[in-house]
């Protein structure tokens, strides 16, 4: 079984990481964080989210972050939950947005305040207008493996949701194990089901959380299925490992260590990245949950 020669790490620390940290990080720190991630070689840095500040106060300064980044930030993806979020991205001249769908009814109701089917009607004008304006659109599919209320999520249901989001005009799906319960065999089955439904590996990304320690093993399983885009969060930002509900993202450094060992080109300067995460941990006032950061710091 041959693994990909090269992968793209989609860095979500400034968005998915910081939105799940309790600390309110100053705008200037976020901008410095993003710039350091780019300087460390990360090819894609998802910068922020234009979600309503009532829901995610940590990212209430999204417009300020993007304004400060200016031309540097133009190609960076930002999350837009709906048309109002898209409007803000368009005003700033951004080129890449992401929407955040749900693979389950309960999470759609709780996160989007809509049913599983109704989410497509909400996303349709957002994606259409973004594509008409020449923007790339990524579609996150959350709860692809398990759902805290529904338990196991049937693979055909995930494939159907993913396909429908893709057919709206997204260029890539990011399949998320939002609560981190999935294991390597489940990852392979899901990816094989998407392949059987006609989707190619470059149309798919994987997004693992390390809640149950499975994130890197799952990433390895996805590599074996030919996946070449991996979401990860610098320093494992997005959930303290000692918190009651540990929901940290896969740490970018731990992923890079594995990729380097496998000889898979990823473009990241690991020392620079670890330095960035150590600095960010200082800003947040707690150690990084990344094993590599802990070992090399």
User: Which residues of this chain interact with its own copies, rule CB under 8 A?
Assistant: 1, 3, 180-186, 210-214, 216-217, 219-221, 241-242, 245-246, 251, 253-254, 257-258, 260-263, 287, 289-292, 294-295
208: left (phi over 0), alpha (psi -120 to 50) or beta: beta
134 or 285: CB nearest its own copies: 285
- Report the C-alpha gap between 191 and 183 in whole angstroms: 13
The count of residues in the chain is 297
Closest by alpha carbon to 141, among 204, 62, 55?
204
Asked if residues 214 and 146 have their Cβ atoms less than 8 Å apart, the reply is no
1 or 196: CB nearest its own copies: 1
* Minimum distance of its own copies from residue 248's CB (angstroms): 8
61 or 253: CB nearest its own copies: 253
Active-site choice (44, 99, 158, 240): 240
* Minimum distance of its own copies from residue 293's CB (angstroms): 9
Grouping H, G, I as helix, E, B as strand and the rest as coil, residue 42 is: coil
- Report the C-alpha gap between 38 and 32 in whole angstroms: 10
Token pair for 266: 């990823």
212 or 279: CB nearest its own copies: 212
* Minimum distance of its own copies from residue 273's CB (angstroms): 14
- Report the C-alpha gap between 151 and 135 in whole angstroms: 35
Question: 240 catalytic, yes or no?
Answer: yes
* Minimum distance of its own copies from residue 254's CB (angstroms): 4
Helix or strand (DSSP H, E) at 257: helix 252-261
56 or 221: CB nearest its own copies: 221
Grouping H, G, I as helix, E, B as strand and the rest as coil, residue 103 is: coil
* Minimum distance of its own copies from residue 59's CB (angstroms): 25
Residues with catalytic annotation? 240
């Amino acid at each position: 079984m041959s693994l990909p020669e090269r992968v793209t790490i989609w860095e979500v620390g400034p968005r998915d990481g910081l939105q799940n940290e309790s600390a309110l990080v100053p705008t200037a720190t976020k901008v410095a964080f993003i710039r350091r991630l780019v300087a460390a070689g990360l090819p894609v840095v998802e910068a922020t989210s234009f979600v309503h500040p009532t829901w995610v106060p940590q990212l209430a300064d999204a417009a300020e972050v993007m304004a400060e980044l200016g031309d540097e930030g133009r190609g960076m993806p930002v999350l837009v939950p709906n048309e109002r979020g898209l409007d803000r991205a368009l005003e700033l001249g951004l080129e890449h947005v992401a929407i955040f769908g749900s693979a389950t009814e309960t999470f759609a109701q709780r996160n989007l305040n809509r049913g599983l089917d109704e989410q497509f009607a909400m996303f349709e004008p957002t994606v259409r207008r973004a594509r008409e304006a020449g923007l790339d659109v990524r579609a996150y599919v959350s709860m692809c493996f398990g759902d805290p209320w529904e338990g196991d999520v049937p693979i055909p249901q995930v494939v159907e949701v993913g396909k429908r989001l893709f057919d709206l005009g997204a260029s890539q799906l990011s399949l998320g194990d939002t609560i981190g319960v999935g294991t390597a065999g489940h990852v392979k089955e899901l990816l094989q089901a998407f392949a059987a439904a006609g989707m190619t590996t470059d149309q798919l990304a994987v997004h693992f959380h390390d809640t149950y320690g499975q994130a890197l093993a799952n990433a390895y399983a996805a590599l074996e299925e030919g996946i070449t885009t991996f979401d990860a969060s610098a320093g494992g930002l997005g959930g303290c490992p000692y918190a009651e509900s540990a929901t940290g993202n896969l740490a970018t450094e731990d992923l890079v260590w594995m990729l380097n060992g496998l000889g898979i080109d990823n473009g990241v300067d690991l020392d620079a990245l670890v330095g960035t995460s150590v600095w960010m941990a200082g800003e947040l006032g707690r150690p990084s949950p990344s094993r590599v950061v802990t070992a090399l710091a």
